[in-house]
Amino acid sequence: MAGLTTTQTFSDGDTVTAAKLNNIISDCTIDDDAVVTAKIDDDAVTLANMADDSVDTGQLVDDAVQNSKLNDMAARTVKVNATDAAADPTDIPMSNGTDVDENKLLVGTTDSINAVKFDTDLELDATDSAAADIRVADTLISGKSDSFTIAPTTDTVLICDADGTGNKLRKATVKDAVQSQVADTSTSGVTRLATTAKIIQPTGQSAASTDVLSVGSNSTVLPRAWGTIDYNKKFDTTSGGTWSRLANFNLDNPSNSGYVISFVFSTSLDTGTSSYMIQTDAYYSNSDAPAADGTNFLSAIGVITARSNTGFDIRFRSYDGTDVMPYRINLIVYV
């Protein structure tokens, strides 16, 4: 019969016995693939009727196993293979189990996966499920309290290279970072200290509007030259005397031709500069060694007879117009 195989076969004229009929039933077998799904009773196949290891991946329908069918996991854990070889997954905690606010990230090392804290210098932008970004924590700067002496040519800072490609965060030494701005660009916010020569001769020494005076040269902000000069002979002696500078800025030792005294700038003023003011006061004496109390001092009036960017000449006279050689001269040159 269809789907069944028996041990009895009858032909015309064969004798039918009870034993043969019984054998048809008792020795009957079901043919392969004879039982179709429709012939299986609902709920007939139970777990107890299934052999061990009888169901593997091949017998599972795609997307059949839902999350709800997996074992429960502890709070704030991740299912992962944390070993350095093929293995069943395990649940890795994202907190220490006590401090639930402790933030951790899963980090793959050379032989494992670990939950690593990042709350020293980094933090989440929120403490709950609203967290979306990892940001720099205040402790990254405020927590670094150790002081040190900066080495400008070796210590580095991070700068965003706007003209670069890819990763634009680059290192630069402290010195390069400060000097990367052009000092003669007025919008740079950078200045440079002017040399003494630039103060005296701005044009010839290529001074810029961003050149500023240093502390060491602040006494020369207004004057281009100044000095206190002595002559060691009487007022009417025009030869044989010695000039000496007690104090000076940008003046060489003077010389005289008769009563005309020539002063030369150590550093010349800008080319063509000849209009400047010379403020002088001087006195003379009838003695080669004037009294310390000034009883034999007389004032001398200075008349400028020539001036240029390299120097100037002065002729001194008494109040009655007599030429005199001053014992001491104090002067300042303003441009």
Cβ proximity of 235 and 335 under 8 Å: no
Res 6: pLDDT: 79
CA distance 182 to 188: 7
The reported pLDDT for the residue numbered 219 is 44
Q: Which residues contact 82 (CB under 8 A, 6 or more apart)?
A: 90, 92, 112, 113, 114
Instruction: Give the number of other CB atoms < 10 A from CB of residue 242.
Output: 9
Q: Are 236 and 249 in contact (CB under 8 A)?
A: no
* Residue 235 to residue 245: CA distance in whole angstroms: 18
Contact, 243 vs 231, CB < 8 A?
A: yes
| CB distance 327 to 281 below 8 Å | no
Q: What is the pLDDT of residue 220?
A: 46
**How confident is the model over 8-50, as pLDDT tens digits?**
777 888 787 887 777 777 778 887 877 888 888 888 788 788 8
What CA–CA distance (Å, rounded) separates 140 from 170? 19
Name residue, tokens 């196949």: 45
> What is the reported pTM?
0.46
What distances in angstroms separate CA 280 from CA 39, 223, 323, one per listed residue? 132, 13, 16
Determine the 3-state secondary structure of 39 from DSSP. Answer: helix
> Can you give the pLDDT at residue 183?
59
287 closest CA partner among 321, 328, 228, 229: 328
Topology classification of domain 223-334: Immunoglobulin-like (2.60.40)
Task: Report strand pairing: 277-285 vs 297-307.
Answer: antiparallel
Could you identify the residue written with the tokens 């000092």? 183
What's the rounded Cα separation, in Å, for the pair 229 and 245? 4
Check residue 149 and give its pLDDT: 86
Contact 157, 180 (CB under 8 A): no
Amino acid letter for position 124? L
Tens of pLDDT, residues 311-335: 999 999 998 899 999 999 999 998 8
Q: Are 268 and 322 in contact (CB under 8 A)?
A: no
Sequence-ordered alpha helix ranges (H) in the chain: 18-26, 139-142, 174-179, 196-200
Residue 159's pLDDT is: 86
Which of 331, 190, 321, 189 lies closest to 265, judged by CA? Answer: 331
* Residues of the chain with confidence (pLDDT) below 50: 217-220
Domain ranges of the chain: 1-44, 71-146, 148-180, 186-219, 223-334
3-state secondary structure of 51: coil
Give the β-pairing of 192-193 and 211-212.
parallel
